[in-house]
Chains A and B, each alone.
Chain A
Amino acid sequence: MENIQTTLGQVNIASIIIFFAFVAVTLAITYWAAKKTKTTSEFYAADRSISGFQNGLALAGDYMSAASFLGIAGMVALKGYDGLIYSIGFLVGWPLVMFLVAEPLRNLGKFTFADVVAFRLKQKPVRIASSMGSLMTIVFYLIAQMVGAGALVNILFGFPYEVAVIIVGLVMISYVLFGGMLATTWVQIIKAVLLIGGTTFLVIMTLAQFGMNPITLFEVATEKYGDVILSPGGFVKNPWDAISLGLALILGTAGLPHILMRFFTVPDAKQARKSVFIATGFIGYFYILTFVIGFGAMVLVGQDVISSFDKGGNMAALLLSESVGGQFFLGFIAAVAFATILAVVAGLTLSGASTLSHDLYVSVIKKGKTDEAGEVKVARIATLIIGSLAIILGLIFKGQNVAFMVGLAFSIASSANFPSLVLSIFWKNFTTKGAVASIITGSSLAVILIILSPTVWVDIIGNPEPIFGLKNPAIISMPASFLVAFIVSKLTAEKEAAEKFEDEKLRTYLGIGAE
C-alpha cells in the first residue's frame, strides 16, 4: 500500500475559515431571531412558524450527530457490512415516531413532551418524574457530544481540548439564549444541508473513481479485503444483545426530548407528520451515503491507515475527503463535522432548558402562575445553567470513554420517556402513580443495569466479569417500565384522569383546542 500523505491533525486554513464562516452566519441568524424571540411560544417553539419541510430538515439536523457521521463511516470502513446494521437501528425508530407519537404529541402538548404526559394526570408528581427522565437523557447525550467535540476539534484544528469545549459551549449558548427555538432551528437546517450536501459530494467524488458505479466499489473492496466485508460479521454475537440495543434505538428515538420538542414548532398535526416523512428520507439517504463513504475509505485510504489514526476508525470519512478532494475539501468536511456538533448540542440545551423552566419552575414551583416575560427570563437563566453544565461536564469527562452514554441516553429514553408518553396518549386507565412508578423504574433500571454491564463494569471499571451480561439494558428496563405502569395504574385507579381521556380525544384526533 502506498504511503498516504495527509494533513489531518495540522492547522487547516480552509477548515478554520469555513468553520468561522458558519459561526458568523449562524450568529447573524441568531441576531435576527433574537428580535422575534420575546414570548414563551417564540422562545420554546419558534411561534409554531416552522413548515413541515423545514422541520423535517431540522429534525434530521438534530439527529445526525458527528458520532453517526464519523463513527458509522469509520465502522463501515473497518468492519464493512456491520456498520450498516448499526445505522439501520438508528433509522427505524423514525417511522414509529410518526405512527405513534408525532400527531397526538403536537395536538396535546405545548412546549415539552411532559405537557402530554401530565395532560390529564396530577401536574406536580408527573412533571417532576418526567423532568427527571428528560434531564437524564439530555445530560448523558450532552456529555457524549461535548467530549466528542473536544476530541474532534483537537485532532482537526490542533486546538487544545479545553478551548474546543469552551468554544462549542459559548457559541451554542448564544444561539439558544438569544435566538431560542428559531435560531436553533435554522442552525439545524443549515447544518443538515451542509452535511447532506457535503456527504453527497464526497460520495460523487469517490464513485467517480469507480466509473460512478457503487457495485464496482464494493467489488474492488471485496477483492482487497475478502468477501467477509459484505457479510454480517461479529456485530450480532449475542442475539439478545442485538435485540436489546435495537429496542433502545427504535423506541428511544420516540422518547428523545429534544426530538419530541421539535414537533411543537410546526403549526399543526399535518405538518408534524410531514416533517417525519422528510426527516426519515434525509436520514435514510444520509446513512446510505455513509455506507458508501465507509467503503470508499476502506479502498482508497486503506484500513491500516485509517486505524493508525484512530482505532475506532473515526477519521475514515475525513481521510477519504482529503484523498478524493484535497486539503480544501478535507477542511470543508471537518468544518461540517464540527458544525454538526454545534447544532446537536444547541437542540439538547434548549430542550434541557425548557424542562427546567417550563416543566419544573413554572409548572411545579409556580404552579403555572407566571407571566410571559417572567417565564422567558427563567428559560434564559435555565439555558445558562444547562449550557454551563455542558461545558463543565465536557471538561470533567476529558479523555474518558463516554461512547456508552449515547446508548444510555437511548435506553433511558426508551424505558422512561417512551412508555409514559405512549400510555398517556393511548391508555385510558393510566394514572399519576402509574406514570411516576414507570418513569422511576425505567430510568433507574437503565442506569443500574448499564453500570453492571460489560460496557461499564468491565470496560471502564475494570472488573473481570460483568454482573449483568448484556451491553444494553433496554430489553429488561423497557418492558419492566410498561409492566410497572400497568400494575400500579390498575392498583391506583384515577377516576378523574379516565374521564378526561374521552374529552382528550377531541384534541388528540381532531386537533380541537390544540395550542
Chain B
Amino acid sequence: MGINSQRVHQILTSDKFKDLVRKRLTVSISLTIIMLLAYFGFMLSIAFFKDFLTIKIGEHITLGLPIGIGVIVFAWLLTGIYIHWANNKYDKAVRELRNEILEN
C-alpha cells in the first residue's frame, strides 16, 4: 500500500476531494438542522401553541398524538435518508478517490 505523499497532496487539493468534503458537510449539516427544527418546533408548539396539539382528529384523539409519534418516525427516516445517500453517492466517490491514492 504505497502512499505517495506528493500524490496525497494532489488529491487533497483536488476539486474532486474538495467537492466530496463540501457535499458531505452540506448533507450532514442540513439534516442536523432539519432534525433540530423538527424537535424544537415540536417543543415550542407544546410551550406556545398547545391549542394546536389539542385539536381533535377523532372523537378523543388529539393531533398531538400522530405528531409526537411522527417526530420519532421522522428521526428514524432522516437516518434512513442519510444512509441511502451515503451508501450510494458518498461511498462511491470515496472508493474512487481511495483507489487513486492507494493504487499508484
30 pairs of residues in contact across A and B, judged by CB atoms under 8 Å: A84-B68, A85-B43, A87-B72, A89-B39, A92-B35, A92-B38, A95-B82, A98-B83, A103-B86, A215-B58, A218-B65, A222-B60, A223-B60, A231-B54, A231-B62, A235-B46, A243-B40, A246-B43, A250-B36, A276-B79, A281-B76, A284-B73, A426-B25, A502-B12, A503-B12, A505-B17, A509-B17, A510-B97, A510-B98, A512-B98
In the complex, what distance in Å separates the CA atom of A222 from the CA atom of B61? 9
The answer to whether the Cβ of A417 comes within 8 Å of any Cβ in the partner chain is no
Interface residues of B in 56-70 (CB under 8 A from A): 58-62, 64-65, 68-69
**Which of B28, B62, B71, B98 touches A88 (beta carbons < 8 Å)?**
B71
Interface of A with B (CB < 8 Å)? 81, 84-85, 87-89, 91-92, 94-96, 98-100, 103, 215, 218-219, 222-223, 227, 230-232, 235-236, 239, 242-243, 246, 250, 270, 273-274, 276-277, 280-281, 284, 287-288, 291, 426, 502-503, 505-506, 509-512
Complex contacts, B6 vs chain A, CB 8 Å: none
Contact present for B61 and A219 (CB under 8 Å): yes
In the complex, what distance in Å separates the CA atom of A274 from the CA atom of B82? 10
Complex contacts, A85 vs chain B, CB 8 Å: 43, 46, 68
Interface residues of B in 9-34 (CB under 8 A from A): 11-12, 17, 20-21, 24-25, 27-29, 31-32
How far in angstroms is the closest Cβ of chain A from B93? 9
Closest Cβ neighbor of A219 among chain B residues: B60
Complex contacts, A223 vs chain B, CB 8 Å: 60
Complex contacts, A98 vs chain B, CB 8 Å: 79, 82-83
Contact present for B28 and A99 (CB under 8 Å): yes
**Contact indicator per residue, chain B 75-87, by CB within 8 Å of chain A (1) or not (0):** 1101110110011
Complex contacts, A274 vs chain B, CB 8 Å: 83
How far in angstroms is the closest Cβ of chain B from A502? 6
Closest Cβ neighbor of B91 among chain A residues: A270
Contact present for A232 and B35 (CB under 8 Å): no
Closest Cβ neighbor of B3 among chain A residues: A512
Closest Cβ neighbor of B95 among chain A residues: A510
**Which of A95, A232, A273 touches B46 (beta carbons < 8 Å)?**
A232
Contact present for A92 and B60 (CB under 8 Å): no
Given that A94-B79, A236-B46, A284-B76 are contacting pairs, would A512 and B102 also be in contact in the complex, using a CB cutoff of 8 Å? yes
In the complex, what distance in Å separates the CA atom of A509 from the CA atom of B12? 11
Which one of A95, A239, A277, A510 has the greatest number of beta carbons of chain B within 10 Å?
A95
Main SS of chain A's interface residues? helix
Contact present for A91 and B35 (CB under 8 Å): no
Complex contacts, A509 vs chain B, CB 8 Å: 17, 20-21, 24, 94
Contact present for B31 and A242 (CB under 8 Å): no
**Which of A230, A239, A506 touches B62 (beta carbons < 8 Å)?**
A230
Contact present for B78 and A95 (CB under 8 Å): yes
Contact present for B39 and A99 (CB under 8 Å): no
Closest Cβ neighbor of A251 among chain B residues: B36
Question: A99-B35, A232-B50, A246-B40 known; 18 other A-B pairs, CB under 8 Å?
Answer: A81-B62, A81-B65, A85-B46, A88-B71, A95-B31, A95-B82, A99-B28, A218-B60, A219-B61, A222-B60, A231-B64, A232-B53, A236-B43, A246-B43, A287-B72, A426-B25, A510-B97, A511-B94
Complex contacts, B53 vs chain A, CB 8 Å: 231-232
Contact present for B72 and A91 (CB under 8 Å): yes
Complex contacts, B68 vs chain A, CB 8 Å: 81, 84-85, 88
How far in angstroms is the closest Cβ of chain A from B31? 5
**Which of B36, B40, B98 touches A511 (beta carbons < 8 Å)?**
B98
Contact present for B72 and A218 (CB under 8 Å): no
How far in angstroms is the closest Cβ of chain B from A87? 8
Contact present for A280 and B75 (CB under 8 Å): yes
How far in angstroms is the closest Cβ of chain A from B86? 6
In the complex, what distance in Å separates the CA atom of A277 from the CA atom of B59? 36
In the complex, what distance in Å separates the CA atom of A133 from the CA atom of B43? 28
Closest Cβ neighbor of A99 among chain B residues: B28
Complex contacts, A92 vs chain B, CB 8 Å: 35, 38-39, 71, 75
Complex contacts, B61 vs chain A, CB 8 Å: 215, 218-219, 230
Contact present for B60 and A88 (CB under 8 Å): no
How far in angstroms is the closest Cβ of chain B from A292? 10
Contact present for B69 and A288 (CB under 8 Å): yes
**Which of A103, A236, A281, A291 touches B47 (beta carbons < 8 Å)?**
A236
Contact present for A284 and B72 (CB under 8 Å): yes
- Ranked nearest first, the 10 interchain pairs of A and B with the lowest CB-CB distance are A239-B47, A222-B60, A231-B54, A99-B28, A232-B46, A284-B72, A236-B46, A84-B68, A92-B39, A230-B62
Given that A215-B58, A509-B94, A512-B102 are contacting pairs, would A243 and B72 also be in contact in the complex, using a CB cutoff of 8 Å? no
In the complex, what distance in Å separates the CA atom of A270 from the CA atom of B83? 9
Given that A505-B21, A510-B94 are contacting pairs, would A270 and B87 also be in contact in the complex, using a CB cutoff of 8 Å? yes
Contact present for B62 and A100 (CB under 8 Å): no
How far in angstroms is the closest Cβ of chain A from B99? 10
Contact present for A246 and B46 (CB under 8 Å): no
Complex contacts, A502 vs chain B, CB 8 Å: 12
